[in-house]
Structure 1
Amino acid sequence: MALSFTSLNSGSNGNCYYIENQNDAILVDAGITCRETEKRMERLGLSMTKVRAIFVSHEHSDHIRGIPVIAKKYKLPVFITEGTLKKSGFSLESHLLRTFKAHEAVQIGDLEITAFPKFHDASEPHSFIISCNGIKVGVFTDIGIPCENVIRYFSACHAAFLEANYDEDMLENGRYPYHLKARIRGGHGHLSNKQALDLFCNNGTHMSHLLLSHLSRDNNNPDLVLELFKSRSQGTEIIVASREMETKVYHIIHPSIVPIEKKAKIEFVQYSLFS
């Protein structure tokens, strides 16, 4: 059974990633409006009626803005940590709330979604791996540094959304105040093009697709980062996920051979179910 995936939007103005198999689909984050999510999916020939759940990476508004309306309209369970829910500022009916344990798969039909902790300046930030029939697609955005968790899960993926937020020179010489520059590159902010490229070259050149995600409007250039990665791609299809529109839908039918997962010291973080 194939996995298909698309970015509906990627950037500080909104993030929403769609992953499906033949029968079921999920959203990772929903930072654009319900109406815009529906319009973009319709243009791609996708339907919200196939979506079974929303998984929330963290509470920043560009990742959660559309969740209350989408979840209520389509009666979708929202998988979120208690700390993230408290910081989010929105309320949902209790029967729509679910939680997850880090490194333990949640089953949604034939999809398995595994969350893992990462470094980012949020309450309880997580990224996700979506698996089906041996195929794995990961969502790796809003990452301060490529920690052991990120390396371990990234190396096991057949395709990934990978943050390439900023060019180091553009950030250094740009208009942002010093405190914001320090936040972005300080280890709990975002991945630079160079950090993302190093992660890919050392752990991801076996992938079929890499979608460069969460590019800064002010501190990056899509042509620059696309050329940077294409020159080192070794056969991986490189796509820049747009800040303004959806990408094509990409498909993986058969899993390729991937390296044995690297050993890493994993911090197991568990959360209790909401009452």
Structure 2
Amino acid sequence: MLEICALASGSNGNCYYIGNDQSAVLVDVGLSARQIQLRMSSRKLSAEKVKAIFISHEHSDHCRGARVLSKRLRIPVFLTKKTYLAIRPAEKPELVRWFEPGQEIEIGNIKVSTFLKKHDAVEACSFRLTYGGKEIGVMTDIGEPCDRVIDHFSKCHAVFLESNYDDDMLQNGPYPYYLKRRVSSSVGHLSNVQALELVQNHAGEQLEMLLLSHLSGENNTPDKALESFKPCNGNYKIVLTSRKEASEVFKFSL
């Protein structure tokens, strides 16, 4: 059995759990260690199974809690050296393991494939995790889908997929012009429409589930994100993740 859960997803903090009976991995720890542990407990997910943390990039909503949680659970934090150097001093983890983008890493019986993506960070990466023939993607904070993102996405059975903003809400919303440009740029975030196009053009036949993730609190709504994905209804299970609470734990039989 493979279990996945979005413990948090949004600009105030991100954390994704992927695990089986023996091992688990956290991708990003953008909330406090205490909050992550509380959310895991609320979904009956054992912290003892967690063997590693992977950090996608240096922004605080992805690494804020890694230093303390790593110490508390006595587990390593995997990240690139450039990302480590770019993290704020107060948030730098101590028990670190470097990886190079494109490297595959074995954590217990889970394989983690790392790959570069387009985002305004020094060496931003996303991840595809494999266990028992099931492939789970964690693909958020993507300005536009590059060939690497497309390739890994096409192999997935389930994906935590960024659906960050609604175009009209962003353009007519309260953000200053420079921030609107940053969000919608090729190194910003995926809009609802861009995320849908990625699915329509590049989903593999094995894709079962889309977990719409990293929704903006100012430039999107759950209803707008779901409405955008209506063309996919009936093809996949589509669920929303939340910044306020952990999602349901979704289970995949092997």
Which residue of 1 is the match for residue 209 of structure 2?
A: 209
Which residue of 2 is the match for residue 82 of structure 1?
A: 81
CA distance in 2, matches of 1:60, 1:121: 9
State the AA in 2 paired with 1:92.
Answer: P
Asked whether the 8 Å contact 2:213–2:241 carries over to 1, the reply is yes
Q: Which aligned pairs between 1:43-192 and structure 2 lie closer than 5 A?
A: 43-89=42-88, 90-93=91-94, 96-192=95-191
Which residue of 2 is the match for residue 41 of structure 1?
A: 40
CA distance in 2, matches of 1:224, 1:189: 19
Deviates more, 1:63-72 or 1:82-91: 82-91
Deviates more, 1:99-108 or 1:45-54: 99-108
- The structural deviation recorded for 1:102 is 2.3
- The structural deviation recorded for 1:21 is 1.3
TM-score normalised according to structure 1 size: 0.89
Question: 1:82-134 CA deviation, whole Å, 9 max, x = no partner?
Answer: 111111023333xx210112222100111000100000000110000000121
State the AA in 1 paired with 2:193.
Answer: K
Task: Detail structure 1 runs of 4+ shifted over 4 Å in the superposition.
Answer: none
Asked whether the 8 Å contact 2:8–2:246 carries over to 1, the reply is yes
CA distance in 2, matches of 1:30, 1:189: 20
Asked whether the 8 Å contact 1:205–1:233 carries over to 2, the reply is no
CA distance in 2, matches of 1:4, 1:229: 24
Task: Indicate the percent of aligned positions where both proteins have the same amino acid.
Answer: 48
- The structural deviation recorded for 1:186 is 1.1
- The structural deviation recorded for 1:201 is 1.2
- The structural deviation recorded for 1:232 is 1.9
Q: How many residues are aligned here?
A: 251
CA distance in 1, matches of 2:28, 2:218: 23
- The structural deviation recorded for 1:47 is 1.4
Question: 1:25-68 CA deviation, whole Å, 9 max, x = no partner?
Answer: 01000001111111111111111111000000000000011111
Consecutive unaligned residues in structure 1, runs of 5 or more: 255-275
Asked whether the 8 Å contact 1:230–1:238 carries over to 2, the reply is no
- The structural deviation recorded for 1:6 is 0.4
- The structural deviation recorded for 1:204 is 2.2
State the AA in 1 paired with 2:245.
Answer: M
CA distance in 1, matches of 2:60, 2:209: 27
State the AA in 1 paired with 2:24.
Answer: A
Asked whether the 8 Å contact 2:154–2:204 carries over to 1, the reply is no
State the AA in 2 paired with 1:101.
Answer: E
CA distance in 2, matches of 1:151, 1:56: 20
Deviates more, 1:101-110 or 1:145-154: 101-110
CA distance in 1, matches of 2:197, 2:252: 24
TM-score normalised according to structure 2 size: 0.96
Report the 3-state secondary structure (helix = DSSP H, G, I; strand = E; otherwise coil) of the residue aligned with 1:62.
helix
* Distance 1:61-1:91 versus aligned 2 partners, 3 A rule: closer
State the AA in 1 paired with 2:93.
Answer: L
Report the 3-state secondary structure (helix = DSSP H, G, I; strand = E; otherwise coil) of the residue aligned with 1:4.
strand
Asked whether the 8 Å contact 1:12–1:214 carries over to 2, the reply is yes
Aligned-residue CA RMSD (Å): 1.1
Consecutive unaligned residues in structure 2, runs of 5 or more: none
* Distance 1:92-1:13 versus aligned 2 partners, 3 A rule: closer
CA distance in 2, matches of 1:231, 1:123: 35
Asked whether the 8 Å contact 2:81–2:99 carries over to 1, the reply is no
State the AA in 2 paired with 1:180.
Answer: L
State the AA in 1 paired with 2:238.
Answer: I
Question: 1:205-259 CA deviation, whole Å, 9 max, x = no partner?
Answer: 64211100000001001012112213323431101111111100111213xxxxx
CA distance in 1, matches of 2:159, 2:34: 26
- The structural deviation recorded for 1:11 is 0.4
CA distance in 1, matches of 2:216, 2:135: 26
Asked whether the 8 Å contact 1:81–1:100 carries over to 2, the reply is yes
Asked whether the 8 Å contact 2:193–2:228 carries over to 1, the reply is no
Report the 3-state secondary structure (helix = DSSP H, G, I; strand = E; otherwise coil) of the residue aligned with 2:5.
strand
Which residue of 2 is the match for residue 268 of structure 1?
A: none
